[in-house]
Amino acid sequence: MADAALVLFSGGQDSSVCLAWALERYERVETIGFDYGQRHAVEMECRPRILARLQHDFAKWRPRLGDDHVVDLGVLGKISDTALTRSIEIEMSKTGLPNTFVPGRNILFFTVAAALAYRRDLKFLVGGMCETDYSGYPDCRDDTLKALQVALSLGLDRRLCIETPLMWIDKARTWQLAMDLGGRELVDLVIEETHSCYLGDRSRRHPWGFGCAVSRVRAAPKRLRVVALREARLRAALKGARRSRASGSPVIVESLDSRLRGNDGASFGDPTG
């Protein structure tokens, strides 16, 4: 049990990186996904493809990746009235939160995951929540999840740990984490197979992968994905250049350093650059 985890795996970029993180860390890893009537249900279609590629392309993780579980939480869609479960425009609500906020969603997700983990003898629950790139959802906050960990452990009379490896890192470091865990192969998997868009639009592949090009509520984070991916790739190239500095040209290293600082005229804030 000490080396077993259950990953909340949606089929999106962040949860896919968290799954790779768990596979690198734990001896046995299972996954759970939730069908709650989300309008971006296309992410559920991505999950089997991602799992299949992880099994096929990453031999070191193959024996660790266990069962996948899909739970019907349609009741969540029935009791909520949000842009995530209704065909309405995504916008800010009177509460100051985007109307994509589904009250109690992550609390319910972790509660159901904990019940399954109890039966499957899995100690760690892994989720892709973070406070550096989010829309202010209160159930993504570290304080919320720490309190939930205590409540679940008490309620089940068993020690459970909620792990959120992305909680305090930005998108650049998330891409770098993917690179560190599985190299370019994992980065390509995340780009080509995952889906990150509340509208469920998978009609166009962007430099950062499939999803929405523009959203008034989520535009900044989507732009950050392009910026972060470019920066992660440059950092990986810089790391390789530094390893071979003794036999290579220091000019290469200096050039890459300049690009990371933006001194070569490239604008990391412009996703079209």
Short-list 138, 141, 161, 137, CA closest to 149? 161
Q: What pLDDT does 244 receive?
A: 52
Q: What pLDDT does 261 receive?
A: 43
Report, as an integer, the average pLDDT of 7-23: 97
Residue 227 lies in a domain: no
pTM: 0.76
First to last CA, the chain: 47
Residue 263 clears pLDDT 50, i.e. is over it: no
Which are the contacts of 97, defined by CB distance < 8 A and separation ≥ 6? 135, 136, 137, 138
Residue 223 clears pLDDT 70, i.e. is over it: no
* Lowest mean per-residue pLDDT among 67-76, 160-169, 191-200, 262-271: 262-271
Residue 16 clears pLDDT 60, i.e. is over it: yes
Residue 228 lies in a domain: no
CB of 19 closer than 8 Å to CB of 55: no
* Structural domain span for residue 24: 4-198
Residue 171 lies in a domain: yes
Q: What are the tens digits of pLDDT across the range 190-201?
A: 999 998 877 667
Q: What are the tens digits of pLDDT across the range 199-215?
A: 667 888 888 898 775 44
Residue 23 lies in a domain: yes
Residue 271 lies in a domain: no
Residue 223 lies in a domain: no
Going by DSSP bridges, is the β-strand pair 205-206/209-211 parallel, antiparallel, or unpaired?
antiparallel
What DSSP element (H or E) covers 206?
strand 205-206
Q: What pLDDT does 258 receive?
A: 45
* Band (265; pLDDT cuts 50, 70, 90): very low
CA–CA distances in Å: residue 122 to residues 4, 48, 58, 93, 126: 5, 21, 23, 38, 11
CATH number of the domain residue 66 falls in: 3.40.50.620
Q: What pLDDT does 169 receive?
A: 93
| 151: its two tokens | 């409540």
Short-list 41, 5, 40, 33, CA closest to 20? 5
Residue 104 lies in a domain: yes
* Band (90; pLDDT cuts 50, 70, 90): low
Residue 227 clears pLDDT 70, i.e. is over it: no
Q: What pLDDT does 220 receive?
A: 42
Q: What pLDDT does 70 receive?
A: 97
* Domain tally, the chain: 1
Residue 244 lies in a domain: no
